[in-house]
Amino acid sequence: MPELQRLRPDHAPAVLAFEAANRAFFAASIPDRGDAFFAGYPPRHEALLAEQAAGTCHFHVLVAEDTGEVLGRFNLMDATAGTAELGFRLAEKATGRGLATTTVHQLFDLCRTRYGLTALRARAAVRNTASRGVLSRTGFVETGEAVMLNGEAGVGFVRVLGAADGLGAGHGPRA
């Protein structure tokens, strides 16, 4: 079973490899990051670690236990006043197995016990049915807010966290 790990300096090469290997797959459902993202990744990784050290963001990677390969990224951004925005992406070869849903449930426990968060926001492109499905399965509800993601139409979501969240993938979503 893949392991959810807090982002560390030594993850940089594996994260960049993950992003490059899945670039076309991601671009089919979300706006592309652009060439500058890939060319300038090492300083970006350092900046992410600085945000994490400041407590404003909490970045995670889902790592294959046998190879150490990054299979996904699960980020809690702009953490303030008990809320944060969830963003995630999963490698093409890791889709269809419930890993995103399971990992989002794992994050709920970290949100409560480690990060002091009581609610999460999320956004997904209208055309990104996979992410919208994960959000729905994990108890996020649409806010009705129309959002733009790099110039593309999206949908806003919210999820209030309760004491029973994060007890494992076997429990159903809670609103």
Query: Could you tell me which residues are beta bridge partners of residue 81?
Result: none
- pTM value surpassing 0.85: yes
**What would the two tokens of residue 50 be?**
């600085």
pLDDT of res. 12: 97
Q: Note the pLDDT tens digit of each residue in 56-115.
A: 999 999 999 999 999 999 999 999 999 999 999 999 999 999 999 999 999 999 999 999
Q: Which two tokens stand for residue 19?
A: 């992003």
CATH class of 3-160: alpha beta
Considering just the CA atoms, what is the radius of gyration of the chain in Å?
Answer: 15
What is the per-residue pLDDT across 129-172, written as a single tens digit (0 to 9) for each? 999 999 999 999 999 998 998 888 999 999 999 876 754 433 33
Domain edges within the chain: 3-160
Q: How far is CA 162 from the centre of its chain?
A: 19
Q: Are 104 and 74 in contact (CB under 8 A)?
A: yes
- Cβ proximity of 79 and 114 under 8 Å: no
